Structure 1
Amino acid sequence: MSKRFSGERIVVTGSGRGLGFAFAERLCREGASVIVAEIDAALGAAAEAKLKAAGYDARFVQTDISSEASVAAMAAEAAKGCDGIHGVVANAGWANNVGGKHYDEITPEVWDRMMAINVRGTWLTIRALGPKMRNGGSIVTVSSDTIYWGPPRLLHYVTSKSAIVGMTRSLAREFGERMIRVNCLLPGLTMGEATKDIPQDRWNDYASRAILKRTQQPDDLDGVVVFLMSDDSKFITAQTLAVDGGFSMH
């Protein structure tokens, strides 16, 4: 396999497990030096150990994306030992066990927490890392295909993920003068640690309504991140790309 990111530093938030770890591992395989920015110390340390055991260049930095100070400290650490960060995958967010409440049952406290992590956290991440990036790099934000089909009892989550799409478009214009691309990945329902408790009937329903009728796996998405990080997408910016087997169309 080619090492297209050899010598490049890439930050992946929320990469202690699940999709984030899949992104980090694939970018490492492609030669990148990856910063594993993860709030859970045990998960982050285990991810770093696993990547290093495979011979990859990876470093865990504990990061709470909802905290300005934590994100700033991570950005400073990420920039050490390189002449500028090549890429950022702003993957971290709150998605586990957030559904089930009607719009009038969601508490203001839960609503605010969702926005603090998913929206403010994505912005804080890019705000801190953007100035440390080299011109010509790439930022990938992570939203959700739920913004296209609006599932019920997930209003706060869908709203937060919709905000990331708008954020991506405005950021793309601001970063464009530095030839830094900003695009948004919209995963569908993907098998992993974060979704292991989802009832089987929901998996079956999702697969039955998609065009490609099978359960989505993390490796259905990691190649898309590689594409968006690489020069293969050097003239693509401000775009949203749903990867969900054709469940949603837009």
Structure 2
Amino acid sequence: MTGGTKGIGRATVLAFARAGATVVTCYHTDAEAAAELTRELKEIGDQHQVVQADVTSAEDAAGLVETATGALGGLDVLVNNVGVDGMAPLGKLDTAEWQRVMDSNVTATYLVTQAALPALADGGSVISIGSSVASRGRPNAVHYTTAKAALIGFTRALCKEAGPRGIRVNLVSPGVTETEPGAGLPPHVLERLAAMTALGRIGQPEEVAASVLFLAGDAAKYVTGANITVDGGI
């Protein structure tokens, strides 16, 4: 799994580990968060690994897959979670910011999946984390919305390529999720966003992780090419 040390990624890593899976995940720069996750995983079992990688780099993406296959003896599930947000009106959106968001949200998914697919067991599962903003749109976030929309196309196309091997390819698209206390947003903004949802509250990372775990398991063995929205009806 990529991007497993914070928020939705961390919740997903822990959900898989608690369900009995052996997990290899990565972080980019936050060694403190990685160390904390490592401590939590050791309480579940000693077999899990948290390694450093910049998966927007082809070399690091391949290295991460090599580390995971070496540790696990193969791959059953790949979860693409790395991504960054961005805010800028189109008129002020420069190419560097566009590229940063595209590289993290789209290119990283392409690089890791391409490297992992040969090692993925027949009947395995690829799950990427998108965003419900892909179908709603968000002002001042054309680049982020476009990147997350690209993952829908990636999922739909790859499920047809991987289908003959029984590999399922799906997408989970969260809405506003409280990945950190207050989700990093001012209270009045959180209140406004919560009021926009059908359920009247912000989502929790564990609720997104539950959908990822479902897609990885046998209960979803005839689900592929799907985009499961987990956004409280925003």
Q: Which bin holds the TM-score, normalised by the shorter protein?
A: over 0.9
Query: For residues 219-238 of structure 1, what are the alpha-carbon distances to aligned partners after superposition, in whole Å with 9 as ceiling and x for unaligned?
Result: 21111111100010000100
User: Would the aligned equivalents of 1:36 and 1:47 in 2 still touch at CA under 8 Å?
Assistant: no
Assess if the C-alpha contact under 8 Å between 2:22 and 2:72 holds in 1. no
| Matched pairs, number | 233
Q: Does 1:77 align with 2:67?
A: yes
Unmatched 5+ stretches in structure 1: 1-11
Displacement of 1:45: 2.9
How far, CA to CA, are the matches of 1:18 and 1:82 in structure 2?
A: 24
The aligned residue for residue 140 of structure 1 is: 127
Do the aligned residues in 2 keep the contact of 1:36 with 1:48 (CA within 8 Å)?
A: no
Aligned counterpart, 1:7: none
Please say which of residues 69-78 and 51-60 is displaced more in the overlay: 51-60
Aligned-pair distance for 1:218? 1.0
1:198 Cα deviation from its structure 2 partner: 1.5
> Is the aligned partner of 1:207 residue 2:194?
yes
Residue type of the alignment partner of 1:86: D
Shift of 1:196: 3.1
Counterpart Cα distance in 1 of 2:181 and 2:155: 24
Name the structure 2 match of 1:117.
Answer: 104
Counterparts of 1:91-170 in structure 2, within 5 Å, are 91-95=81-85, 98-99=86-87, 101-170=88-157
Of 144, 165, 172, the match for 1:185: 172
| Aligned twin of 2:183 | 196
Q: CA deviation at 1:81?
A: 3.9
Q: State the 1:195 CA deviation.
A: 6.6
Residues 147 and 183 (structure 1 numbering): CA distance in 2 closer, same or farther, change over 3 Å?
A: same
Is the Cα contact below 8 Å between 1:143 and 1:187 reproduced in 2? yes
Structure 1 residue 55 and structure 2 residue 45: aligned?
yes
**Residue equivalent to 1:88:** 78
Q: 1:32 aligns with which of 18, 21, 25?
A: 21
State how far apart, in whole Å, the 2-side matches of 1:195 and 1:158 are.
22
- How does the TM-score come out when normalised to structure 2? 0.95
- Tell me which of 136, 150, 160 is aligned to 1:173: 160
CA contact (8 A) 2:177 2:202 kept: yes
Give the one of 16, 19, 33 matched to 2:8. 19
Whether the 8 Å contact between 1:75 and 1:129 is mirrored in structure 2 is: yes
Query: Does the 8 Å contact 1:14/1:20 carry over to 2?
Result: yes
Partners of 1:74 and 1:222 in 2: CA distance: 22
Q: 1:209–1:56: structure 2 CA closer, same or farther, 3 Å change rule?
A: farther
Give the distance between the partners of 1:205 and 1:146, measured in 2 at CA.
16
Residue 234 in structure 1 maps to residue 233 in structure 2 = no
Q: What percent identity do the matched residue pairs reach? A: 32
Cα distance between partner residues in 1 of 2:35 and 2:119: 24
* Change beyond 3 A, Cα 1:85–1:34: same
CA distance in 2, matches of 1:53, 1:203: 33
Equivalent residue of 1:80, what SS? helix
